[in-house]
Homo-oligomer: A and B are copies of this chain.
Amino acid sequence: MRIGEAARHSGVSAKMIRHYESIGLLAPAARRDNTYRDFDIRDVHDLAFIRRARDLGFSIEEIGRLLALWRDRDRPSREVKEIASAHIAEMEARIARMQEMVATLRHLAECCAGDERPDCPILSGLAGIDADAPGNSHPRQPDHADQRADQR
């Protein structure tokens, strides 16, 4: 089948199929008449595998390793689980960071009237005025410089 059909059956766009081939995630597809790519069922299975792994947030690099293990009948499931566990931990860390951001921002937003008046705790917070600090009602010098939050 041609790339469009393979795309439809696998849920991976033709654009991405070519891309995965170009970066070596997939072996170069067979060619018909030396121009059009020619896919069979197994290729579609590979693509659907990739698609599902992407849907679970795995990076291309991780998917490459998962594909290799999938093809290796003698793999130890330990190796698969290690990749999955590391990925879970990574996602949970990202979730935690985002939840912190949401909590901080929600707190600021709750204190904001959100009306026609200009006073705004959200802007004050971004400007470095810590409304929660005891006895602190004036701007603080930006004396922070190195605490990289490592977010996103």
B144 and A11 form a contact (CB under 8 A) = yes
Report copies per complex: 2
Q: How far is the CA of A148 from the CA of B8 in the complex (A)?
A: 11
A residues 93-124 near B (Cβ < 8 Å) are: 94-95, 98-99, 101-102, 104-106, 108-109, 112-120, 122-123
A residues 122-146 near B (Cβ < 8 Å) are: 122-123, 125-128, 142, 144-146
Residues of B within 8 A of A73 (CB): 118
Dominant SS among interface residues on chain A: helix
A105 and B120 form a contact (CB under 8 A) = no
A80 within 8 A of partner (CB): yes
Could you say which interface size class chain A belongs to? 35 or more
A120 and B88 form a contact (CB under 8 A) = no
Chain A to chain B contacts (Cβ below 8 Å), 26 pairs: A8-B145, A10-B142, A11-B142, A11-B146, A52-B125, A52-B126, A55-B149, A56-B101, A56-B105, A57-B152, A69-B120, A69-B123, A72-B118, A76-B115, A76-B117, A77-B113, A77-B115, A77-B116, A77-B118, A77-B122, A77-B123, A80-B122, A84-B108, A84-B122, A85-B109, A92-B102
